[in-house]
Chain A
Amino acid sequence: MSDQQKPLPVPTAETRVYWEGCRRHELLLQRCRACGRLQFYPRAVCATCLAEDLEWAKSSGRGTVYSYSVVYRPPSNAFASDVPYVTAIVELEEGVRMMSNVVDCPPDAVRIGMPVSVTFDDAGDDIALPKFRPS
């Protein structure tokens, strides 16, 4: 099934390394060398202390569902054949949160607090999207 019409991320100079990591099926987070805080999404500066001295750290990919919603009315036709699908904010065990989908799970089985781990959806155009499945 073609995903070509779905909106795919367009990497920018500051997110390029993140998306390259996804292509390798690695979930990368930024760590600030000045204050030690981890952040997502990647930026040119640390959102805690504004330092520009940032490095990349590989996430374990494990986390829990912080919140979720099963979508019945998609934002566009591109997602129509996926309905119903689960959108979720996942809290990684490193303490940062990110938006994603919960996959490989009946939508009505998803629960807040459910342990999940990352899996990558090779979506095309050199983009792999990190998604989460029950662990």
Chain B
Amino acid sequence: MSCSRSVAIVGIGEVDPRPVPGRTSLALNALATKAALADAGLRKEDIDGVLTGYSLVEPYGMYSSVLCEYLGIQPRYNAEITVGGATPCTMVCHAAAAIVAGLADTVLVAWGDNRASGASRDAIVSRVVDVAGHPQFEHPYGVLIASLYALIAQRHMHEYCTTPEQLARVAVTCREHALLNEYALMRQPITVSDVLRSKPIATPLHMLDCCLVSDYGGAVIVTSAERARDRRQQPVHIAGMGEGHTHEHISQAPSLTTSGAKRSGELAFRMAGMRPSDVDVVELYDCFTITVLVELEDLGFVEKGAAGPFVESGAIDLGGSLPLNTYGGMLSAVNGGIFHIIEAVRQLRGEAGPRQVAGARTALVHNEGGILSTNATLILTGD
């Protein structure tokens, strides 16, 4: 039994990420929800399933239940999903499964946290590694998230001759795209040289190889394809989805250069009955520049080890063969994998304005979490 094209995204909503003193994590989720409902032409009473992530700033023990209470929603399907950065795409997979199983008709997927308004950067850097590094076998050695991903970058450079310039090009491209997005936090163009001269964080990664720490609030509404026909917006169908998980802690990973994205991509393409060459636009989780290179390879867009030259060629630019992170990504627009999904929906609706990929009909969205630990891929179609 396949879910393919049985479920569609009918509403998207986001909150301006510029920090607001005193803004709460729940408020970001609530306001994104309100925007998504308006976009879908739905009321909150139409929502009977709620999926959320979690907060690093206000860590309620049962976050999704708290959001339901905060919004005055009493659903028949309710869960907090906690797979790190992979959570947004994973939530959409869960929403689809719930709808196909008849456990809910219309599911809210919300992802928001006040990581800039609610905490210092030092606090966030420390809390993020608290949840992602091993307390006994990694923390004592002074690791941080950037240094854990840096191990991946270093190995990728060793095995495939990937260069710092190729990593930097990912950041430059995302920045160029961000300049076409009025809500992107970063507003100045950068060059490869700027990236390489930016502050070293953990070799070979520099400050500009690392994503933003920001407030974020985004939501999507998912319903059956049949119900989607009656909605305000052109539905965006979920043609394929898949997950792949190989480890939690990077020191336990079977490979530093191939991830569970290989499996999640294969499963998503198989469900969709498609291949990488069918994809018009990609939105790939860009916590660090190296993450994008590994994803391009593991998802099958290029051979393993070939992503460096691929990005260097300009292929991922808006005018290239595989436009990537067309809204600026986490590297330049706003933190959070929900926005990869939201941008893909905009592209497929033809609503991306100056950054519209002409004729985009199929988008691939990938989120990953931990340290290349958890992976979820969605293939979305606009027809």
A residues within 8 Å of B by Cβ?
Answer: 6-12, 15, 40-41, 66-76, 79, 82, 85, 87-89, 97-101, 112, 123, 127, 129, 131
Contact = CB atoms under 8 A, between A and B. Distances in A.
Nearest to A18: B136
Range, interface on chain B? 35 or more
Contacts, number: 109
Contacts of B200: 70, 72-73
Interface stretch (B137-145, B161-169, B220-228, B360-368): B137-145
A73 B201 contact: yes
Nearest to A108: B203
A128 B254 CA distance: 27
B135 A10 contact: yes
Interface in B115-149: 122, 125-126, 129, 134-144, 146-147
Contacts of A89: 151, 250-251, 256
Given A9-B137, A41-B136, A75-B126, A67 B202 contact: no
Contacts of B142: 6, 71, 74-75, 79, 82, 85, 87, 101
A71 B136 contact: no
A75 B144 contact: yes
A86 B154 CA distance: 13
Contacts of B201: 71-73
B158 A67 contact: yes
Contacts of A75: 125-126, 129, 139, 142-144
A133 to B, nearest CB: 14
Give 3 nearest A-B pairs by CB, closest first. A69-B150, A9-B136, A75-B144
A99 B150 CA distance: 13
B135 A71 contact: no
A20 B35 CA distance: 56
Contacts of A74: 142, 144
Question: Most A CB atoms within 10 A — which of B151, B200, B251?
Answer: B251
A7 to B, nearest CB: 4
B199 A72 contact: yes
Given A8-B140, A75-B143, A68 B154 contact: yes
B155 interface: yes
B256 A67 contact: yes
Given A75-B144, A87-B147, 6 more contacts: A69-B204, A70-B200, A73-B200, A74-B142, A89-B250, A89-B251
Nearest to B210: A73
Contact of B135 (A9, A68, A70): A9
Contacts of B199: 72-73
A67 B134 contact: no
A127 B140 CA distance: 11
Nearest to A107: B203
Interface string B180-204: 0000000000000000000111111
Question: Most B CB atoms within 10 A — which of A7, A8, A11, A70?
Answer: A7
A79 B200 CA distance: 16
A3 B13 CA distance: 47
Contact of A71 (B122, B144, B158, B251): B144
Contacts of B141: 87, 99-101, 129, 131
Contacts of A112: 154-155, 158
A12 B205 CA distance: 34
Nearest to B203: A70
A79 B143 CA distance: 10
A111 to B, nearest CB: 9
A13 to B, nearest CB: 12
Question: Most B CB atoms within 10 A — which of A40, A73, A79?
Answer: A73
Contacts of B147: 69, 71, 87
A73 B199 CA distance: 9
A82 B147 CA distance: 15
Nearest to A131: B141
A11 B155 CA distance: 31
A97 B140 contact: no
A135 B154 CA distance: 21
Contacts of B152: 67
A94 to B, nearest CB: 15
Contacts of A8: 140
A99 B133 CA distance: 10
A85 B147 CA distance: 11
B144 A73 contact: yes
19 contacts: A7-B139, A9-B135, A67-B152, A67-B158, A68-B154, A69-B147, A69-B150, A69-B153, A71-B202, A72-B202, A72-B203, A75-B139, A85-B142, A87-B147, A97-B251, A100-B141, A112-B154, A112-B155, A123-B140
